[in-house]
Structure 1
């Protein structure tokens, strides 16, 4: 599995005004709706429900919100870069500025876990995160995320 198989270029955005986790989830829902054809409100609700089980902020300014969604045929994702970090309740108590949201079909088992592991490995590489933070162009962000060496570096 490669990130390009779950992330479309049009599902990558830079947000300048997300002020809270809830607002970020609303922005992610709107992006998932426009880029992936998902229901924005159902997306927000699924992310909030999953987040209530425990924060998906994994540390070092990165969050990996994820949810299972009815009606999806394959694992899909949106990537959001925040111009201004927000408090996310991360494990290291640091604000986040990178959010990679994953959505999986309700019955997806191993594919969802493989995608989550792939994203986690990719965003654990300090050089990848540094490149992402140095660029606020969605096309460039997509290229950084999907370049093969970024995935292999983990």
Structure 2
């Protein structure tokens, strides 16, 4: 049962697209992601989200190289996929595979019983972020609205 609605523009809300976030560390980025999601849906615990993101990072950094990270985790009681897109004001150390600091972050929080669609989504993201011109375009964005449009424009 493939879910055709699982595309980047369906999981990313303008409210969860943040431009030039000031974050001093990887931990702070993950906290910020959890806070933003909780802010959008108060039934979701920011502590749970943060702890799950951190546990996932312990298995290996989600910094995929070229200044990009795709932190992700599963969450109990979640009935949809939540995406958070952020550019950072200053690149930070994310223990990425190429040791480059990260300034482009797309977080993915998926239901506990995550399926192949969620993996598909991760690979869609990785594929998009493989295009350096696309990443450059995102990094150039000066505000959240432009960033949101840049991220979702090409996913149709």
Interval of TM-score (by shorter of Structure 1 and Structure 2): over 0.9
CA–CA separation in structure 1 for the residues paired with 2:119 and 2:75: 14
Of 4, 8, 11, the residue aligned with 1:3 is: 8
CA distance in 2, matches of 1:48, 1:24: 11
Q: Structure 1 stretches (4+) deviating beyond 3 angstroms? A: none
Question: How far 1:15 sits from its partner (Å)?
Answer: 4.3
Q: Residue 69 of structure 1 is aligned with which of 57, 70, 75?
A: 75
Structure 1 position 99, deviation (Å): 0.6
Corresponding residue of 1:96: 102
Unaligned runs of 5+ in 2: 1-5
| Structure 1 residues 36 and 131: alpha-carbon distance in aligned structure 2, compared to 1, 3 A threshold | farther
| Separation in structure 2 between the aligned mates of residue 138 and residue 8 of structure 1, nearest angstrom | 11
Q: Residue 22 of structure 1 aligns with which residue?
A: 27
Q: Is the contact made by 1:81 and 1:136 (CA closer than 8 Å) also made in structure 2? A: no
Q: Which residue does the alignment assign to 1:59?
A: 65
Deviation at 1:14, TM superposition (A): 2.4
Rounded Cα–Cα distance in structure 2 between residues aligned with 1:13 and 1:39: 20
Structure 1 residue runs of 5 or longer lacking an equivalent are: none
| Most deviating of 71-80 and 28-37 | 28-37
Q: Partner of 1:113 in structure 2?
A: 119
The higher-RCO structure (CA 8 Å, 6+ apart) is 2
In the alignment, the residues of structure 1 paired with residue 76 and residue 134 of structure 2 have an alpha-carbon distance, to the nearest angstrom, of 32
**For the residues of structure 1 that align with 2:90 and 2:112, how far apart are their CA atoms?**
33
- Checking the alignment, whether the CA contact within 8 Å between 1:57 and 1:96 is kept in structure 2 is yes
Task: Kindly indicate whether the alpha-carbon contact (under 8 Å) linking 2:19 and 2:147 is maintained by their aligned counterparts in 1.
Answer: no
**Residues 75 and 111 of structure 1 are in contact (CA less than 8 Å); yes or no, is this contact kept in structure 2?**
no
Please give the TM-score of this superposition, normalised by the length of structure 2. Answer: 0.91
CA distance in 1, matches of 2:14, 2:85: 9
Give the distance between the partners of 1:55 and 1:74, measured in 2 at CA: 24
